[in-house]
Amino acid sequence: MTPAARLAAAASVLDSIAQGRQPAEAVLKAWGQANRYAGSKDRKAIADRVYKVLRARARLSWAMGGREDGRALVIGSLSLIDGLTLDEIETLHSGEGYGPRPLSKQERSRLTAAGEGELPGWVASGLPAFVVEDFKTTFGDRWAEEAQGLMAPRAPIDLRVNTIKADVEGVRAELAEAGLEATPTPWSPVGLRLPSEPPPNIQATDAFKDGRIEIQDEGSQIVCALAGAAPGMTVVDYCAGGGGKTLGLAQAMRGQGTLVAGDVVQKRLDNIRPRLARAGVDAELRLLGQNGGGMEDLNGQADLVFVDAPCSGSGTWRRRPEEAWRLTADEVERLHALQVRILGQAARLVRPGGRLIYVTCSMLSRENEISADAFETAHPEFRPVALDHPRAVGHRLRLSPASTDTDGFFAALYERAA
C-alpha cells in the first residue's frame, strides 16, 4: 500500500469505530481480514495512525473546525502530530489510486490556521469536555498530569504469575527463553511487565497455555490482593465479568474454601470456565437475574464479597482511547445509580464480621467516591477498614497511570458490624 492509501484506510477505520461500539482493536482486526492485500507493515502503520488520532481526537477535531469524521481527523494529525507542511499534505491527497481525494478549500484553510491561538483547557487535556471539571475537583493542581497519563501512548502489558503453578522468577526466566524480557511490577509481588512494542504474543507461550500466567493489569492485581481473600473463606465475586479477578481471588484462596462468581451475562461466565481450568482452580459460576437475584442462599454467609461494579471504564482509556468519546454525562449518572443499587444487593451476602470491597476501573468521582459515599450513608452497619497500601487514604485507594503507572482503579473496603 502507498502512504496515501494507508491514510485513506485509517480514515475508513476511524469512521467504523465511531459508528459502532466495538473496540478499536476489533475494528482494525476486521479491516485486516477484509483487506488481505494489506501486509503486516501496512496494518501496523494504519493501526498506529488510528491510535494516534484517537488519543489526540479533541485537539484534532478542534483544529479542523469541530469535524469528527475520519478524514478530517487524519488530515489534522498530519499537521499537528506529524508536522507536515500544507504542500506535503496535499501531495498525499492527490486523489490518485487508493489515496484520499484532494483537499477542499475549507480543509486547506483549517490546516493553515492549525496551531494558532490558545487551546481551550478541555482540548489541551485530551479529555471529553464534561470530564475535565471532575478531574479538576478530584486531582486539583495535578489534574492535567493525570489527564495526560490517562490518554498517553499505549500501556505496558502486565502479567500475573499463577503461584499455584509457578513462581515469579521461574516464569520470568521461561519468558526470557521465549524472547520476552519481563521486569517485576513495582507494586504487585506476583506481577511481571512487558513493553507493548513490539506487541508480545503472550497467548502463544507455554506459560500462558499451561496456566502459569494470565494477562492482568497491575492495578487489577493490587485491588484483588487488598480484598484479603484467604484459604478456607467463602468468597463471592459479585460482578465477575471476564473473570480476571475471579482467578486472582481463587489464587489467593489456594483451592481451599468456596468461591462463587456471578454475572448477568451467560457468555461471560462461559468464557471464565476455560480460564479456571487452565489455571488449575475452581469456582461455582452463577447466572444472576437482571435485578441481581440468584444468590439469596448466600445471604449473611460470605466472608468476603468482591464488587467490581459496572463502570465507565475510564481508567482504561490509555488502552481503549475510543471509549472516551463514547461516554456521556447521562451514562455516568446511570452507572452511578446502578453501582449504588448493586452495592446494596451485595451487602446482604456479607456475614457479621465479614468484608465487602467496592472496586471500579474508573477515574470519575461520580462512580468512585460519590458512589461509596452513598453506600456508606445507606449502610451504617458497614464500617470502613483501612487499606494496606502506600497510596491509600484510609479505607479508599485511587490508582492511575500518572500516579502508579497502572490503569485507573478505585477501591473502598468495609467490614460488617458483628
Q: For residues 344 and 307, what is the distance between their CA atoms, to the nearest angstrom?
A: 11
Query: What's the grid cell of residue 113?
Result: 490556521
Q: Are 216 and 161 in contact (CB under 8 A)?
A: no
Question: Which residues are marked as active site?
Answer: 361
Phi (first) and psi of residue 9, to 5 degrees: -65, -40
Establish whether the linkage from the previous residue to 153 is cis, with ω within 30° of 0.
no
Q: Which of 146, 151, 77, 63 is nearest to 110 (CA)?
A: 63
User: Under 8 Å CB-to-CB from 417, ≥6 apart: which residues?
Assistant: 352, 381, 382, 383
The grid coordinates listed for 193 are: 511487565
Q: In three state form, how does the secondary structure of the chain look?
A: CCHHHHHHHHHHHHHHHHHCCCCHHHHHHHHHHHCCCCCHHHHHHHHHHHHHHHHCHHHHHHHCCCCCCHHHHHHHHHHHCCCCCHHHHHHHCCCCCCCCCCCCHHHHHHHHHCCCCCCCHHHHHCCCHHHHHHHHHHHHHHHHHHHHHHCCCCCCEEEEECCCCCCHHHHHHHHHHCCCCCEECCCCCCEEEECCCCCCCHHHCHHHHCCCEEECCHHHHHHHHHCCCCCCCEEEECCCCCCHHHHHHHHHHCCCCEEEEEECCHHHHHHHHHHHHHHCCCCEEEECCCCCCCCHHHCCCEEEEEEECCCCCHHHCCCCHHHHHCCCHHHHHHHHHHHHHHHHHHHCCEEEEEEEEEEECCCCCCCCHHHHHHHHHHCCCEEECCCCCCCCECCEEEECHHHHCCCCEEEEEEEECC
